[in-house]
């Protein structure tokens, strides 16, 4: 299960004022790209892949409420979220809630959750394999429609789990290393035993360094 942290689906907050072109000039939706990227923490609002995990190949702006159904919102930055190209294509103009739904983004079964309005970890959970599981509607609909458990995404989420485990183990080993040194300096541990223990810890740390290097080659930042 996922803890409430930024490992997956961080809480997103929109800025109070979007500048676009600035200087009072009229802006089209593409002019808000940088600001939306920052507000979405450079992550796809749907599959959660980061710009770095996407190889810095770029993200797209998705009209949360489709511009084909809500033309007045086409250039409204508060209707924009960051999406990877695949999620953007798969979501397309789907909107089960209908145009008469007002502020509702789903009908209780199908539709979408606004990443700026809800905590997405109340709708999705990420298991150790990187798979998303639905906690409540409309997450099942989103997982199915946008293929959020496609292999490329589950592998990225799994690597995040592994990276976090490596960090935790590294911190524990570093703490154990410090404790061993303190015990030796205080005379509570013989020098030969302290040296043996430190050598074991160093070997384990070296293994973790190699794991981290391998993960960097796999594109896990």
Per-residue pLDDT reduced to its tens digit, 49-70? 999 999 888 899 999 999 999 9
Q: In whole angstroms, give the CA distance from residue 115 to residue 117.
A: 6
The phi-psi region of residue 150 (left if phi > 0; otherwise alpha if psi is between -120 and 50; otherwise beta) is beta
- Reduced to 3 states, what is the DSSP secondary structure of residue 53? coil
Domain-embedded: residue 82: yes
Q: Are residues 68 and 135 in the same domain?
A: yes
Nearest to 205 by CA among 155, 154, 170: 170
- Give, in degrees to the nearest 5, the angle at Cα 143 between 137 and 146: 130
Which of 149, 175, 191 terminates a domain? The answer is 149
Q: Are residues 167 and 132 in the same domain?
A: no
Domain-embedded: residue 10: no
Q: Are residues 64 and 160 in the same domain?
A: no
Cβ atoms of 59 and 44 closer than 8 Å: yes
Residue entry with tokens 């930024």: 6
Domain-embedded: residue 185: yes
Query: Could you tell me the residue range of the domain that residue 210 belongs to?
Result: 156-217
Q: Are residues 115 and 172 in the same domain?
A: no
* For residues 134-161, average pLDDT: 96
Domain-embedded: residue 145: yes
Task: Specify the pLDDT at position 151.
Answer: 96
Q: Are residues 101 and 164 in the same domain?
A: no
Q: Are residues 97 and 167 in the same domain?
A: no
* Average per-residue pLDDT for the chain: 90
Residue 218: is its pLDDT beyond 70? no
Q: Are residues 141 and 182 in the same domain?
A: no
Q: Are residues 94 and 196 in the same domain?
A: no
Q: For the segment 179-214, what is each residue's pLDDT rounded down to a tens digit?
A: 989 888 888 889 888 889 888 888 887 876 777 777
Domain-embedded: residue 195: yes
DSSP state letters, 150-206: -HHHHHHHHHHHHHHHHHHHHHHHHHHHHHHHHHHHTTSS-HHHHHHHHHHHHHHHH
Q: In whole angstroms, give the CA distance from residue 189 to residue 221.
A: 39
Pairing status of strand 124-126 against strand 80-83 = unpaired
Q: Are residues 144 and 189 in the same domain?
A: no
More confident residue, 206 or 130: 130
Domain-embedded: residue 22: no
Domain count, the chain: 2
Residue 173: is its pLDDT beyond 90? no
Q: Are residues 122 and 187 in the same domain?
A: no
Q: Are residues 171 and 86 in the same domain?
A: no
Residue entry with tokens 């035993």: 193
Q: In whole angstroms, give the CA distance from residue 47 to residue 24.
A: 35
Q: Are residues 196 and 116 in the same domain?
A: no
Residue 154: is its pLDDT beyond 70? yes
């Amino acid at each position: 299960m996922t803890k409430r942290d930024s490992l997956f689906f961080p809480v997103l907050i929109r800025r109070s004022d979007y500048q676009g072109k600035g200087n009072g000039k009229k802006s089209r939706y593409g002019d808000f790209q940088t600001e939306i990227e920052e507000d979405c923490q450079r992550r796809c609002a749907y599959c959660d892949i980061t710009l770095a995990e996407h190889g810095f190949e770029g993200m797209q702006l998705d009209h949360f409420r489709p511009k084909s159904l809500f033309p007045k919102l086409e250039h409204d930055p508060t209707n924009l979220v960051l999406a990877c190209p695949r999620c953007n294509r798969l979501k397309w103009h789907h909107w089960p809630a209908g145009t008469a739904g007002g502020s509702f983004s789903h009908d209780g079964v199908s539709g979408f959750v606004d990443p700026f309005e809800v905590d997405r970890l109340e709708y999705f959970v990420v298991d150790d394999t990187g798979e998303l599981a639905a906690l409540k509607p409309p997450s099942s609909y989103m997982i199915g429609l946008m293929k959020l458990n496609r292999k490329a995404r589950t592998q990225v989420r799994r690597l995040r789990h592994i990276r976090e485990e490596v960090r935790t183990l590294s911190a524990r080993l570093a703490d154990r290393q410090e404790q061993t040194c303190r015990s030796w300096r205080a005379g509570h541990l013989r020098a030969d035993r302290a040296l043996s223990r430190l050598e074991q810890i160093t070997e384990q740390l070296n293994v973790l360094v190699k794991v981290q290097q391998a993960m960097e080659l796999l594109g896990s930042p």
